Amino acid sequence: MDIRSNEPYWLIVNSLPQSYPSLQESISSEVLIIGAGITGALMAYKLIEAGKKVVIVDRRDVCNGSTAASTSMLQYEIDVPLHKLIEQVGLTCAVSSYQNCEKAIKDIKKIAGNIKSYCGFEYKKSVYFASSKKDLSFLKNEFDARKEHGFKVKWLSKEDLKELGLNAYAAIESQSGAVMDVYKLANDLLKYCSKKGAEIYDRTDIEEIKTKKEKTIAKTKTGLTIEVDHVVHCTGYESTDTIKENIVALKSTFALASEAFETLPQAFKKHIYWNTDSPYLYFRSTEDGRIVMGGGDRDFKNATRRDALLSKKEKDLTKKFQKCFPDIPFIADYSWAGTFGETKDGLPYFGKPDTEKNEHYILGFGGNGITFSVMGMDAIIHSINKTPHPYLEYYKFNR
């Protein structure tokens, strides 16, 4: 599957930070991570810190899957609103999922600091706004649920939003959003892990995995083998090729980066935004003074059909931005398309789909993919050590 189109802004600003060799001989190690995006990079970091010997492989250049396409907004707010999630999965799982995402944002900042990654991490206030009057009662229910369960939220009226330059009916403002460049962080993490002894191979495609006694053997497309105790699949949306359970609906999604503003509009200095539309729109700024926005999701059919929609989506999204911020001129400079997925409850999947095998998965689908990946690395350490962890219960397969 081709999981993104060709011109994500992050690839252009960062160019190719580093490349790794492809695998040229059969090897063995303790843990094999398949997939060198942000999830594989975080998992490698956690395993190295735990003293494990790690091999990471990717069929593409590293970080060139969805990680290169991400708009890198960090929110504790899950695609399914809290009051709806409580109805779907119960109070404990729903509230702690929101709390876990909030903690994951702090964890990312800490990890970036530990490895001295200058990945543009910056806390922002997250504004969840209703662009139509009919969504007001829904938004109020969500505000009440968040407040009741201890999240720091503030109600913004139409007039408050007007001061920000946002044309909307009302909004929930939360304290704990953030932005970053996840492509940069993932590359920096891999570099760090490589220095700490991790073996990294790009352009190495795993075709088959077999279990032989206590060992798990992964075979590449070129016929080489990697023999390990555990495999961690960090294969993103392409995991649908190897998971039998139907856990995710794939969507095509679209993102734009504007031309750089000489002075960033006030509305984008301290805030990020998303709205109650379905599919929702979202906006953030970048360090070099651009506005990045995304949305326009459609059911994913294939990459050719997705990418053919790009120029139409660029026009549609620009128009929608202008409706939200009539006084900010948005001139699209880059546009790209990617694939992402929605699960039935907006929550990730962590652990083993087949308890008999030492194959673990981190599948952080949805708009919170990055925060879910952080939570996933904690969960998989417990999955490997066979110790219980709430994440392995809340986010298990066959739930």
Ligand X SMILES: Cc1cc2nc3c(=O)[nH]c(=O)nc-3n(C[C@H](O)[C@H](O)[C@H](O)COP(=O)(O)OP(=O)(O)OC[C@H]3O[C@@H](n4cnc5c(N)ncnc54)[C@H](O)[C@@H]3O)c2cc1C
CB nearer ligand X, residue 14 or residue 141: 14
Residue found by looking up tokens 């128009």 in the block:
319
- Residue 159: CB minimum distance to ligand X, A: 29
Angle between helices 369-385 and 91-114 (to 10 degrees): 90
CA pair distance 273, 174, nearest whole angstrom: 10
Write the secondary structure of 158-189 as one string of H (helix), E (strand) and C (coil).
Answer: HHHHHHHCCCCCEEEEEEEEEECCHHHHHHHH
CA pair distance 283, 195, nearest whole angstrom: 36
- Residue 164: CB minimum distance to ligand X, A: 20
- Residue 366: CB minimum distance to ligand X, A: 7
Binding interface with ligand X (CB under 6 A): 3-4, 34-40, 57-60, 64-67, 69-73, 205-206, 234-236, 238, 253, 255, 294, 338, 340, 364, 367-371, 373
Q: CB neighbours of 182 closer than 8 A, spacing ≥ 6?
A: 10, 38, 67, 70, 72, 119, 370
Q: Which residue is nearest to ligand X (CB)?
A: 369
- Residue 279: CB minimum distance to ligand X, A: 12
- Residue 264: CB minimum distance to ligand X, A: 18
CB nearer ligand X, residue 241 or residue 262: 241
- Residue 92: CB minimum distance to ligand X, A: 23
CB nearer ligand X, residue 353 or residue 367: 367
- Residue 241: CB minimum distance to ligand X, A: 7
Q: How far is CA 136 from CA 22, 38, 174, 275, in A?
A: 53, 36, 17, 12
CB nearer ligand X, residue 304 or residue 387: 304
E strand intervals along the chain:
27-28, 31-34, 54-57, 73-74, 122-130, 153-157, 170-179, 199-201, 206-212, 215-220, 225-228, 230-233, 249-258, 271-275, 282-285, 291-299, 332-342, 349-351, 359-363
CB nearer ligand X, residue 136 or residue 224: 224
**Residue 121 — left, alpha, or beta (φ > 0 → left; ψ -120 to 50 → alpha)?**
beta
Angle between helices 369-385 and 38-49 (to 10 degrees): 40
CB nearer ligand X, residue 72 or residue 276: 72
- Residue 156: CB minimum distance to ligand X, A: 21
CB nearer ligand X, residue 38 or residue 347: 38
CB nearer ligand X, residue 60 or residue 149: 60
